[in-house]
Structure 1
Amino acid sequence: MKYPVVKAAGYILVNTPDMILHNGTTQTTERITNPDSEYLKKVPEYIRPYEKVVNYAPNQVYIGNMTPEDLKGYKMPWHDKEVEGADRFGKFGEIMPQDEFIGLMKISDVFDLVKLEKGFTASVKEKMLNHPLFDENDAAKLKEGEELSEIEEQINKYHAEPLYNDGKIIGCVKKAHEIDINLTAHTMFENIVVKASGVLAFRHLIHNNKLDPASIDYVIECSEEACGDMNQRGGGNFAKSIAEMGGAVNATGSDTRGFCAAP
């Protein structure tokens, strides 16, 4: 009898301060129910900048640059301690900044729902070309970008979900259907975030462990979100779409929902 074992792992973190403010469930709910709350006013003061996220010792443990035992060398609490010379890349994965992740959302979007402003697109395209896991074929999916006025029209007239970077609108995510409540702009935003983060973790898994993605025959995706339309809500399939972008061309797969802890 054969027993399943964990042979390799890929871990990633993504720092998305603007998404916390504008797309996070707690903040969007508070903005509807209590738009002038002190909580909303104070949230920005407690969001770490990217550099501090990278330098946070537990995050360095997570991506494999330190061991859990190394944390004993840092007096608690750890939130005000920084690791000198910390690297965004580790043996398990990386800590990706928000602008690159938004670019990855566009690269992961096969339905042309993500629209990015031209200047932002040019900036992030250069960064993605310098990333070890992405190439010219990936960067080409960013295209040339859109005029900001066109993006604002999508937001104001067609209820697209705004995308912010450094507090400014730099893009949007469009809804995928006129009436299907399962395909609203906000839901599509969530789904594309799930896919993009899954792609990043999957590519690190393959790259860092020198695996042949074509040898993988089944992928199980275990995030909290569910994708599907009015005919098959939650029917998926994140797993197959992530596998496709990771080069697992022979894999099938399925989604198994999990909350905080995967199955």
Structure 2
Amino acid sequence: MSDPVISACSYILVHVPGFVRYGSKPRREIADHPGSALSAIENHLRSFEEVVAYPPNQVFIGNLAPDALNQIEQPWYRHPLPDASRWGPYGEIFPEETFLGVMKLADDFDLVEIEEKAVPLLKSAMKTHPFWKDADPGKISKGVDPVRIDEKIESSGSLPLYCRGRRVGCISRHHERDENLAAQVLMENLLAKASGTLALKNLLVKANVPAGEIDLILNCSEEAVGDRYNRGGGGLAKAIGELCGCVSATGCDIKAFCVGPLYALLFAFGLVKAGLYRRVAVVGGGSLAKLGMKFQGHVARGMPILEDVLGGIAFLVTENDGKSPIVRLDGIGKHDIGAGSSQQNILESLVLKPLDKMGKKITEVDKYAVELQNPEVTVSGGSGNVPLANYRMIGALAVLRKEISRPEIDRFVLEHGMPGFCPTQGHIPAAVPFLGHAMDAIQRGDLSSAMFIARGSLFLGRMTQLSDGLSFLLEKNPGQTK
């Protein structure tokens, strides 16, 4: 059977300042300090123009190379890029009004109600977007009286929706006593569906693949769709595919904390290699819970709240096309149950063991993509520079193997690593945002290989103390299909 390739990538960001208050951390702080916390959040939100011009966001959609961030003075939020575009070779940055329109299109149970005065704003945003201008406006056209919104918020547990600083509607629960169908949970699931839809739609357009030719969709979002009898039962893959017109595809959801995208890609590689499916789409929508996660650190330092965007990713896995970089299936790295959970144990499993199987040295891999969280978000929140810490540990392994000397670690990090540039959306920063950059660089001849490494904290679910992880290597396609 033909070796699989990742033939196309899609990355989108959605600016959602009106939803920051519903992130897990902001929501708890607002409940404890209803006046001061919400006011602090509202006073530190960014404009759409600021989000577009923010250098890491331009890297995410492909207008800037990751290493270019090394040449931009920090803090990056104080050095916006002039003439930045919301459109990039890999995707787009969406404004909130377009996203609300897609949310309403994705709403099959009338969970979202839009006020009459807000309908023209959403319809205009949809009509002017090249991918969505032909969408059925019927759902969006049904505006409701603001008095009805007032009543639902006051007496039915509905949550208000905001755009451009004013209320535009609400989202409601769908069962009186099922907490899994409460407004907050349904909002989280619907945001994942809508942002995943934007990512998959962008993928299909960029790859010039008809939606009807997708065979399988694997969703790796961090939501838990279900009801009281089957919490986290799933179904988002097919829900996203339905909205994108993938009528010939089936699908399921892959859950593995932050390693979800790599597991989904690994399953896609295996299924294509086995000949069961020819075109598999891997998709991941954004995480509402992680909006504003570090907002207190940002506010305390007089920064804007940088966790005001949802991320979305999508990848097309196909048979070997003779040009896209190939995945080395003989060098998949995995973190075994008995491997141990120290940082060294994990990286030995994900870096050293697969490289040994392929007969490669650490220094022979041109670039390593690890957890690529934007350090400007995490350092101010007390979590440190996650990518840098990972790269220094890989460099330390190279020292132990006598491939470099200890004084050369900083140079190793600069040459084989990259600055983090991704929103802290859990699964979104898990190495794969570099795939588009790596594929282009390998096809240009600027790189010969790149390794993708993701790790997951299984202990967060309180069912095990274990960690998790996967890795794979991407190399230049020799140009021969079998």
Structure 1 position 176, deviation (Å): 1.2
Match of 1:189 among 175, 187, 190: 187
Instruction: Work out whether residues 162 and 169 of structure 1, in 8 Å CA contact, stay in contact via their aligned partners in 2.
Output: yes
C-alpha separation in 1, matches of 2:246 and 2:57: 28
Structure 1 position 240, deviation (Å): 0.1
CA distance 1:230–1:90, shift in 2 (3 Å): same
C-alpha separation in 1, matches of 2:81 and 2:42: 23
Aligned to 2:4: 4
Aligned to 1:135: 133
C-alpha separation in 2, matches of 1:3 and 1:179: 50
C-alpha separation in 2, matches of 1:168 and 1:67: 36
Structure 1 position 143, deviation (Å): 2.1
C-alpha separation in 2, matches of 1:212 and 1:253: 17
| More deviation, 2-11/76-85 | 2-11
Instruction: Work out whether residues 53 and 59 of structure 1, in 8 Å CA contact, stay in contact via their aligned partners in 2.
Output: yes
Match of 1:164 among 158, 162, 165: 162
C-alpha separation in 2, matches of 1:139 and 1:89: 24
Aligned to 1:175: 173
Structure 1 position 32, deviation (Å): 2.0
Structure 1 position 125, deviation (Å): 0.1
Structure 1 position 257, deviation (Å): 2.2
Aligned to 1:18: 18
Which of the pair has the greater relative contact order for Cα pairs under 8 Å at 6+ separation? 2
1:3-82 map, 5 Å: 3-21=3-21, 23-36=22-35, 39-82=37-80
1:114-263 map, 5 Å: 114-262=112-260, 263=263
| 2:63 partner SS | coil
C-alpha separation in 1, matches of 2:4 and 2:72: 36
| 1:9 partner SS | strand
Q: Percent identity?
A: 39
Match of 2:99 among 98, 101, 104: 101
Aligned residues: 261
CA shift digits 1:193-225 (9 cap, x unpaired): 111001000000001121122111110111111
C-alpha separation in 2, matches of 1:63 and 1:31: 32
Rg comparison, structure with higher value: 2
CA RMSD, Structure 1 to Structure 2 (Å): 1.7
Instruction: Work out whether residues 223 and 258 of structure 1, in 8 Å CA contact, stay in contact via their aligned partners in 2.
Output: no
Structure 1 position 46, deviation (Å): 3.0
Q: Which has the higher strand share?
A: 2
Aligned to 2:89: 91
CA distance 1:214–1:163, shift in 2 (3 Å): same
Instruction: Work out whether residues 226 and 235 of structure 1, in 8 Å CA contact, stay in contact via their aligned partners in 2.
Output: yes
User: Aligned partner of 2:33: which letter?
Assistant: N
Aligned to 2:413: none
CA shift digits 1:8-40 (9 cap, x unpaired): 11111011112102x111111112233355x54
| 2:85 partner SS | coil
| 2:7 partner SS | coil
C-alpha separation in 2, matches of 1:43 and 1:113: 26
C-alpha separation in 1, matches of 2:149 and 2:187: 15
TM-score (norm 1): 0.93
